[in-house]
Chains A and B, each alone.
Chain A
Amino acid sequence: MPQLFPSSANTIVYAGAIGALLGGATLVWAFVELTWSSYTTRVDTVLYQPVPFSHQHHVGGLGIDCRYCHTSVETAGSAGIPPTETCMTCHSQIWTDAPVLQPVRDSYATGRPLEWNRVHNLPGFVYFNHSIHVKNGVACVECHGRVDEMPLISKQKTLYMKWCLDCHRHPESSLVSAEDVFQMAARPVPSSETISNRTKERGVRSKIITDCTACHR
């Protein structure tokens, strides 16, 4: 009986098997890379905004406190996006003719809200609350980065569940003292003893914050 396959078939099969493995691995690698790329996560990506608002100028330059605009950050789930009225408290007095502020003046005059493109956006099934993080000493800079150095705001963290859980599993090293929460520059590296005391004194119960029900309902 003649041979059905030439001897080169062996090579083809070996090459094919290795190729399939490599191909599969490449696909997995590509998928992981894509998932974590800034294209997907939008980390460091500046979105178009109707007004090129500069946190660098307002926070870094003028030294306005975060809570001047994000008023409910200590009391509610949402930090609060300032209403047009807040912009106009100053800009009815200064830069009153600046063309970049035209949409703000229009909004104030017509009553139509400004429509910002959302930079930090969690999926609908995640329930995040600012007030409890602020209360427990998670500094603004911990999640939002050096906002005072950003001319145009962009996301600094992926906001992926892995990133949330990394901190929820070991919150100690990310907590600062109450007076430092709103400090941009202060990014203290706590000493080992404060680390161990911090979660206790804050009453952070590490068990509940890794429960599914802490963030999902």
Chain B
Amino acid sequence: MKTSLQPRPAWVSHFTSRFPQWRSMAQMEDLPEFRSYLEREFPEGASEWSDGLSRRRFLGLMGASLALAGFCSCSRQPIEKLAPYVRQPPELIPGEPLWFASAHLLSGVARGILVESHEGRPTKVEGNPDHPGSLGGTDAMMQASILQLYDPDRSQTPLKRGIPSTWNALLTELLRPAARWGATKGAGLRFVSGRTTSPTLLDQMNQVIARYPDARWTIHEPAVNSSALRVVCNVERADVILAIDADFLGSSPAQLAYARQFARRRKPGDTMNRLYVAESAPSLTGAAADHRFVLGPDDLFRLPERIEHVLSGASDESMSWLGALARDLGNHSGRSLVLAGEFLPAAVHEAVYALNTRLGNIGSTVQYLPGLPEPAKALPFSDLVAEMQNGKVEALLILGTNPVYTSPADIDFAKALSRVPFTLHHGLYVDETATHCSWHLPETDTLESWSDAAAFDGALCLLQPLIEPLYDGISPHELLAALLGQPAAKSYDIVRGYWLQRIGGADFGETWHRALSDGVVAGQTLRPSPAVATSTPRTPPEPLSGEGLHLLIRPDPHVYDGRFANNAWLQELPKPLTKITWENAAHMAPSTASRINLKHGDVVELDFFGRKITAPLWVLPGMAEDSVLIHLGYGRTSAGKVGDGVGFNAYALRTQEAPWGGSGLQVRATGARHVFSTTQEHSAMEYSHPVRFATLTEFKKRPEFVHAIEETPAYEESLYPPVVYNGYSWGMTIDLNTCIGCSACIIACQAENNIPVVGRDQVMRGREMHWIRVDRYFSGPAEAPQILHQPVPCMHCENAPCEVVCPVAATVHDSEGLNAMVYNRCIGTRYCSNNCPYKVRRFNFFHYSETKSPTLKMQRNPQVTVRTRGVIEKCTYCVQRISAARIKSEVASRAIRDGEVVPACAQACPAEAIRFGNLNDPVSVVRQFKKDPRNYSLLGELNTRPRTTYLARIFNHNTEIS
């Protein structure tokens, strides 16, 4: 046999010197607890029988299971019922899904979706390629919205002081004083709602204010900094981007559009963009950066000004990175982009605006548009609370927001609420606010009712229901219509009525249907409300300053401001940068922690100007010195069975003048220790260089670097005979250069493949069931490491190590190259999982699939088997989608087209990092990516010949910055 092991050229050591990549501080320090993750299939205790099991008991159990298994097979298949339609809708064929365009709302802003519906039962959300807020991608929250619809903890009936009541009873009670409000012009009538971009709802709000002129409307949106101006970027046009604490690739209503635009400019070559990020806490944008500068908040605030000084020649920074950065921006006038983080003080935004003006970017890469519209005569939240405390509020209607939980700590909203005679909470859950109100009215989910909304850039779209309301829900449109004297009006008529009035025309019916089927209303954008021009612009207040550390308060990447806290998919989704599940943490840089003598996992007391909470400490490489990052959205008390009592409540440190933190934080150890439910060390592979990367210059010089750094055995070096694939041969590439690590693929896969959640305790035992995980590595020094993401699904190895060890042939290759998993054959030996070098196989240690709740059953994808206890499962390349496409193409007597089979992960990816297709098709997209010199196999040295391969990450470094 010819050997493939050639002596490696000397330049290779340049690349290998960057190894190893590490997953956690424990790995960097090579602590024994990490070794146990690495060397074992599951962490200690996951696969052991923890009871003291005697031989006698073992034999007893084995005998019993044998007997029971025997009896089980003796039953006949039960007779099932078939209930055909009475009148079958013409467009519907039972068993074949239909797709409807609608939108998902994040803090009121729309991202277009296409919803898959099986016989009237929505099961899966995909992005709408025609919608500017989605462009076909989705994020984790959009994917998880389907679970929220079916959440059994949703409010199901109106409540009067906690006792079930009816909508009619509420109407009677609501409309009685309404007559009086007519006389008093609505004095004492107050509304609080979250931010909305719905033109119909805004119109209704203004009608309410017109009818009751002394009534007032308050917008309370805890995780958003509403400002007078809305910044809309064209990331694709920008050659050089500087993000100052601006996480534009992280969770925000514009994330999907920006991520796609950004990814389109990441092809290594002359058109590749360059991203600089300066930030205090690591973010997804920071991880995607070519140059990431870790700066304390004070340095961040001064950064735009210092760049301005360099550009104007007022200061000489020729030697520093700042000078190089400023020159790079200056050299790309009109093609550069400077972004300021949403939570930075107003002065920074002004300086960034000035910088963009100077660079000629306005109108080219960035637009400053009027802020989102607000209802007329809006009342600030603090003024509302003052009125409530003074007894000036007679009736308070809270629409779709949860101020008792989300108010700043210096406002006791619950107490203020007790001074209001009539309080109504309208929301999806009986949450903290609902329990303090005299009335609670269930709200319809966005998938249950008609509405409309605007995307981040102002484009309008319609929301249409996919299902009749599951419970006695009322939409906000119907509630406001009742106040306007039309208690019987339906959302459909209200929304359609608004649009008929707005665009009208003889062909309105046609326009309406086109808008519904496209998911956007062509040519219609948000009209800035005149109220905005007159109201004083609300800008982020200056941060508090005092002696101590710097506190950063941010919305959580998954549960946001707490509104998604009862969504188990989002709770179990590892946070992008820490891989924490089911809780939040106080994050601190390693150097700061060691200076004040704190260790990872210590429970600390955070004292911010006398307000105290205790939180577990997470030592996060890449944090700025002397900064502590905490996330909102946890510590809820009335979220539901999933979200109650999870994590700590960061709102307790939040005040009106410092909603996003400031300096003056004292951190003290309490002496207690905390064990995190994190997956960052799970599935660790024995491998020093999972993510391969180079700078653009290095790549141009050595395009073959990915192969040089590892000795991959030659193709013929195998004991198995080669298999020839004549028909289709499926394969996947994952581009690490565009992957932003957002984790949308994980939830998309979970929704598509009926993957259960396992809960905090089981995650700690390493039993999470996600078929695709996103590994996050650090490389370099702990103070400012390079953060790397790598999604890892089943590789569908051609020489699959799992297949040869299965005693019952439960995992076998199919004739199109898939490594198939046959659940019915699986007897649960877990040999396959033990032999998988990628650690991508998941075992059902218990019956994790929730089969008791009638609503959760409705979410299941009918095309995928629901697994039971005792079987292994793993990524199938969405074989149900391949089968569907194969049958469809064969019925039409043609071959499957490229792009016809898109697995759920690839479909969800906002950055189009995952490509899938037929490797035997010479023109398929995936084939082109496989030919890319950056293409490499993970653990290729093992000769597993994975069908899923990676494209190396290329950094477009500024050569002036070392």
Q: Which A residues lie at the B interface, using CB under 8 A?
A: 34, 39-40, 42, 47, 72, 74-78, 80-85, 107-108, 111-118, 121, 123-125, 127, 129, 131-132, 135-136, 203, 205, 207-208, 211-214, 216-217
- Residue B79 at the chain A interface, CB threshold 8 Å: yes
A121 touching B77, Cβ below 8 Å: yes
| B71: min CB distance to chain A, Å | 12
- Residue B727 at the chain A interface, CB threshold 8 Å: yes
| B647: min CB distance to chain A, Å | 36
A208 touching B815, Cβ below 8 Å: yes
Q: Convert B75-107 into 0s and 1s, putting 1 for each residue whose CB lies closer than 8 angstroms to a CB of A.
A: 011011111111110000111100000000000
Contact among A40, A80, A107, A117 with B94 in the assembled complex (CB-CB below 8 Å):
A80
Name the residue in A75, A116, A217 with the highest tally of chain B Cβ atoms < 10 Å from its Cβ. A217
A205: which B residues are within 8 A, CB to CB? 727, 815
A72 to B95, CA, bound (A): 10
A115 to B88, CA, bound (A): 15
Contact among A34, A85, A136 with B88 in the assembled complex (CB-CB below 8 Å):
A85
A78: which B residues are within 8 A, CB to CB? 93-96
Contact among B84, B96, B812, B823 with A113 in the assembled complex (CB-CB below 8 Å):
B84
A115 to B84, CA, bound (A): 8
A83: which B residues are within 8 A, CB to CB? 84-88
A85: which B residues are within 8 A, CB to CB? 85-88
B814 touching A132, Cβ below 8 Å: no
- Residue B824 at the chain A interface, CB threshold 8 Å: yes
> Which B residue's beta carbon lies closest to that of A78?
B95
Known: A83-B84, A205-B727, A213-B879. A77 touches B95 (CB 8 A): yes
A66 to B560, CA, bound (A): 54
A47 to B80, CA, bound (A): 11
| A77: min CB distance to chain B, Å | 5
What are 24 A-B contacts defined by CB distance under 8 Å?
Answer: A76-B94, A78-B96, A80-B93, A107-B86, A113-B84, A113-B85, A116-B81, A116-B83, A117-B80, A117-B82, A124-B866, A125-B865, A132-B887, A135-B890, A205-B815, A208-B816, A211-B816, A212-B822, A213-B820, A213-B876, A213-B879, A216-B820, A216-B824, A217-B883
> Which A residue's beta carbon lies closest to that of B812?
A212
Question: Which residues of B, 39-81, contact A by the 8 Å Cβ criterion?
Answer: 74, 76-77, 79-81
Besides the known contacts A114-B84, A213-B814, A216-B865, 15 further A-B residue pairs in the complex with CB atoms under 8 A apart: A78-B96, A80-B94, A81-B84, A84-B87, A108-B86, A124-B866, A125-B823, A203-B890, A205-B815, A207-B727, A207-B815, A211-B814, A212-B814, A213-B876, A216-B824
| B415: min CB distance to chain A, Å | 52
The 10 closest A-B pairs by CB, nearest first: A211-B814, A78-B95, A207-B815, A81-B84, A83-B85, A83-B88, A113-B83, A116-B82, A84-B86, A125-B865
B891 touching A132, Cβ below 8 Å: yes
B891 touching A115, Cβ below 8 Å: no
Q: Convert B871-885 into 0s and 1s, putting 1 for each residue whose CB lies closer than 8 angstroms to a CB of A.
A: 000001001101100
Known: A212-B820, A216-B822. A75 touches B864 (CB 8 A): no
> Which B residue's beta carbon lies closest to that of A129?
B887
Contact among A47, A84, A113, A213 with B883 in the assembled complex (CB-CB below 8 Å):
A213
B94: which A residues are within 8 A, CB to CB? 72, 76, 78, 80-81
> Which B residue's beta carbon lies closest to that of A40?
B76
B891 touching A135, Cβ below 8 Å: yes
A74 to B888, CA, bound (A): 11
A211 to B814, CA, bound (A): 5
| A98: min CB distance to chain B, Å | 19
| A214: min CB distance to chain B, Å | 7
B93: which A residues are within 8 A, CB to CB? 72, 75-76, 78, 80
Question: Which residues of B, 888-918, contact A by the 8 Å Cβ criterion?
Answer: 890-891, 893
Q: Number of A-B pairs whose CB atoms are under 8 Å?
A: 133
| B901: min CB distance to chain A, Å | 13
| B724: min CB distance to chain A, Å | 11
> Which B residue's beta carbon lies closest to that of A133?
B887
- Residue B325 at the chain A interface, CB threshold 8 Å: no
B80: which A residues are within 8 A, CB to CB? 117-118, 121
B882: which A residues are within 8 A, CB to CB? 213
B79 touching A118, Cβ below 8 Å: yes
A174 to B212, CA, bound (A): 77
> Which A residue's beta carbon lies closest to that of B882?
A213
Q: Which B residues lie at the A interface, using CB under 8 A?
A: 74, 76-77, 79-88, 93-96, 727, 812, 814-816, 818, 820, 822-824, 863-866, 876, 879-880, 882-883, 886-887, 890-891, 893
A211 touching B820, Cβ below 8 Å: yes
A116 to B863, CA, bound (A): 23
> Which A residue's beta carbon lies closest to that of B865?
A125
| B732: min CB distance to chain A, Å | 16
A208 to B816, CA, bound (A): 7
A213 to B823, CA, bound (A): 11
A85 to B823, CA, bound (A): 40
A113 to B95, CA, bound (A): 17
| B385: min CB distance to chain A, Å | 51
| A107: min CB distance to chain B, Å | 6
A34: which B residues are within 8 A, CB to CB? 74
Contact among A74, A117, A208 with B814 in the assembled complex (CB-CB below 8 Å):
A208
A214 to B823, CA, bound (A): 14
| A19: min CB distance to chain B, Å | 21
Contact among B81, B818, B876, B887 with A118 in the assembled complex (CB-CB below 8 Å):
B81
B83 touching A127, Cβ below 8 Å: no
B886: which A residues are within 8 A, CB to CB? 208
A47: which B residues are within 8 A, CB to CB? 79
B76 touching A113, Cβ below 8 Å: no
A208 touching B727, Cβ below 8 Å: yes
A118 to B82, CA, bound (A): 6
Known: A121-B80, A203-B890, A213-B814. A113 touches B86 (CB 8 A): yes
| A58: min CB distance to chain B, Å | 16
A82: which B residues are within 8 A, CB to CB? 84
A40 to B876, CA, bound (A): 33
B824: which A residues are within 8 A, CB to CB? 125, 216
A74 to B818, CA, bound (A): 28
B727: which A residues are within 8 A, CB to CB? 205, 207-208
A121 to B82, CA, bound (A): 10
A90 to B890, CA, bound (A): 35
B82 touching A127, Cβ below 8 Å: no
A114 to B84, CA, bound (A): 7
B823: which A residues are within 8 A, CB to CB? 125, 216
B85: which A residues are within 8 A, CB to CB? 83-85, 113
| A131: min CB distance to chain B, Å | 5
A107: which B residues are within 8 A, CB to CB? 86
A127 to B886, CA, bound (A): 14
Known: A84-B87, A112-B86, A125-B824. A211 touches B815 (CB 8 A): yes
A208 to B94, CA, bound (A): 26
> Which A residue's beta carbon lies closest to that of B811?
A212
A213 touching B818, Cβ below 8 Å: yes
> Which B residue's beta carbon lies closest to that of A214?
B883
A203 to B85, CA, bound (A): 35
B880 touching A131, Cβ below 8 Å: no
Name the residue in A75, A129, A132, A213 with the highest tally of chain B Cβ atoms < 10 Å from its Cβ. A213
A111: which B residues are within 8 A, CB to CB? 86-87
A124 to B863, CA, bound (A): 9
A77: which B residues are within 8 A, CB to CB? 95-96, 887
Name the residue in B82, B87, B94 with the highest tally of chain A Cβ atoms < 10 Å from its Cβ. B82
A212 to B88, CA, bound (A): 34
> Which A residue's beta carbon lies closest to that of B753?
A217
A112: which B residues are within 8 A, CB to CB? 86
> Which A residue's beta carbon lies closest to that of B94?
A78
B812: which A residues are within 8 A, CB to CB? 212
> Which B residue's beta carbon lies closest to that of A116?
B82
A117 to B84, CA, bound (A): 11
A124: which B residues are within 8 A, CB to CB? 865-866
B883 touching A127, Cβ below 8 Å: yes
A113: which B residues are within 8 A, CB to CB? 83-86
A217 touching B891, Cβ below 8 Å: no
